Amino acid sequence: MVDQSNQPQTDAEWRERLTDEEYRILREEGTERRGSSELLDVDDDGVFRCAGCGQVLFTSDTKYGSGTGWPSFYDPADSDAVETRADHSHGMTRTEVVCRNCEGHLGHVFDDGPEPTGKRYCINGIALDFDEE
């Protein structure tokens, strides 16, 4: 588990910790521009951590090229890594994906992913930090 003792508690502390763009995605449920993530082309072995708190969220094993313009995974690193919530914003019903540790917004999950899960975790690259192994 990640050491949570120095995790921001207030909005002001989050603003200090994160870049403007990270704050907009993680704390305000923003979406990065399609195709803008440096992580789209990463195919090295490694882990993807939450940019807010450092928790491992996804691994390179489940990353795949979805062609959507956002980093995509078919499964989280483990079942405790992320949490899902119903999201009714923008007149749509979607399933939001958040970091279970800091509740930062990561992206959405859809049911059109590849086997074995059939899930597509469509994640903002800005919400992730890649650690090569």
Q: Which residues are catalytic?
A: 122
Alpha-carbon distance of 8 to 51, in angstroms, equals 13
Q: Applying CB under 5 A, which of residues 25, 40, 99, 127 lies at the interface with Zn ion?
A: 99
Would you tell me how many other CB atoms lie within 10 Å of the CB of residue 94?
17
Q: With CB under 5 A, what is the number of residues at the site for Zn ion?
A: 8
Q: Is the dihedral of CA 9, 4, 1, 54 positive or negative?
A: positive
Q: Please state the closest distance from residue 112 (CB atom) to Zn ion, in A.
A: 26
Interface residue with Zn ion among 22, 52, 73, 120 (CB under 5 A) is 52
End-to-end CA distance of the chain: 18
Window 2-41: contact mask with Zn ion (x via CB under 5 A): ----------------------------------------
Q: Does 51 contact Zn ion by CB under 5 A?
A: no
As a whole number of angstroms, the distance between CA 101 and CA 79 comes to 12
Among the listed residues 65, 61, 95, the one whose alpha carbon sits nearest the alpha carbon of residue 77? 61
128 binds Zn ion (CB under 5 A): no
Q: Which residues bind Zn ion (CB under 5 A)?
A: 50, 52-53, 55, 99, 101-102, 104
